[in-house]
């Protein structure tokens, strides 16, 4: 069942509500490749303007070898936006059918940002915004915009290293 399709033709096909501890027992048919974070601050949802794709999207990215989904989510959020959530919680797994035919799963996290840190422009992100879902900011990837609906206030504190 298709939930959403973006303009590139990528399909957000399924959302699986599982706990982080249940991931390994899910017997996924396709690889688990990435993590995304739906994060909120006092003024709205955190989005970054992707320099390469030329549109707004959620923070997230590809799992590195030996990295957990949670570590990936936190690393990508920091690298892309310079934000550190005060709370973060696993929300579930997303199944995608990409326009190139590849099928993959990703982990979705919800985060809350109590203190907004200064943004540092980087190779991937040109700017960030805490979007109120009303102000016109330009094109937002349709799948990322749909994923905002999966936000739940996290109750688990971030583990600080």
User: How much is the mean pLDDT over the chain?
Assistant: 95
- Above 70 in pLDDT, residue 44? yes
Segment 79-100, tens digit of pLDDT: 999 999 999 999 999 999 999 9
Percent of the chain with pLDDT over 90: 93
What average pLDDT does range 118-142 have in this prediction?
96
What average pLDDT does range 40-58 have in this prediction?
97
Confidence of residue 155 (pLDDT cuts 50, 70, 90): confident
For the chain, list the strands marked E by DSSP.
Answer: 4-5, 11-16, 32-41, 44-50, 55-57, 59-62, 87-97, 103-112, 125-131
Confidence of residue 161 (pLDDT cuts 50, 70, 90): very low
Asked whether 56 and 129 are in contact (CB, 8 A), the reply is yes
- Above 70 in pLDDT, residue 160? no
Domains identified in the chain and CATH numbers: 1-108+153-161 (3.90.79.10)
- Above 70 in pLDDT, residue 77? yes
Q: Which residue has the tokens 């396709």?
A: 30
């Amino acid at each position: 069942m298709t939930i959403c399709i973006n303009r590139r033709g990528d399909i957000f096909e399924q959302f699986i509500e599982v706990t982080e501890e249940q991931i390994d027992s899910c017997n996924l048919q396709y690889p688990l490749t990435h993590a995304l974070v739906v994060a909120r601050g006092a003024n709205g949802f955190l989005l970054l303007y992707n320099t390469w794709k030329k549109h707004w999207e959620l923070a997230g990215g590809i799992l590195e070898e030996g990295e957990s989904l949670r570590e990936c989510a936190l690393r990508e959020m920091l690298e892309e936006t310079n934000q550190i959530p005060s709370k973060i919680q696993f929300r579930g797994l997303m199944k995608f059918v990409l326009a190139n035919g590849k099928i993959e799963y990703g982990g979705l996290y919800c985060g809350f940002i109590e203190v907004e840190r200064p943004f540092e422009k980087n190779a991937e992100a040109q700017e960030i915004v805490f979007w109120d879902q009303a102000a016109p900011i330009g094109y937002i990837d349709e799948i990322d915009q749909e994923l905002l609906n999966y936000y739940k206030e996290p109750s688990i504190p971030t583990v600080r290293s």
